[in-house]
Structure 1
């Protein structure tokens, strides 16, 4: 197998992993699942532009668990740019009413960040 220059460049960057949690309003579960079964292509592009990779959202017992990897150099700047984007703001006006923050969420974020306690490649 041949490794390309792009793959080498990505391997040289440090990948940061993020997990977060939020509640899903029970009456909104079908809507939320349908939205994410058909995510707008432009939203997916914005996530890629913000250096987000390997993004997943899992659902269990009314809780949503989000996981993503960040491959950029300035997470805060990329997240600020994503939050300021009108398309992302429109997407969130549709998805946010489906969610309810957990009691430990802070004013800093809608989703409550999780601490990584174990990882293996």
Structure 2
């Protein structure tokens, strides 16, 4: 399970089980229109859990991205992950290889055309016909 899914599972479990989140929402300074919908709702914990899940999404994503960055740095420092080459150098190397390959192919094509022209030159005459 990805870290964001795990966080969502933990937080949603608390909200579905009936944790009173109204004081927390008021503390966050959410508009009264949002808080009142949840306060006066007859749908119970399901609506509260869904609303809290949506409200917490940006924070969960932030934690996921930060946690992933930290984890990658940690694993690289311990030697469990290799460091990729810098993108600029990688692209320059690939471009140079491609340029060399294209140059070789062009030389081969030029040589074959020259050979064919030499073969054809002996077979075809471009002299004017005398009438």
TM-score range, shorter chain: under 0.3
Higher helix share: 2
Query: How high is the TM-score relative to the length of structure 2?
Result: 0.21
Name the larger-Rg structure.
2
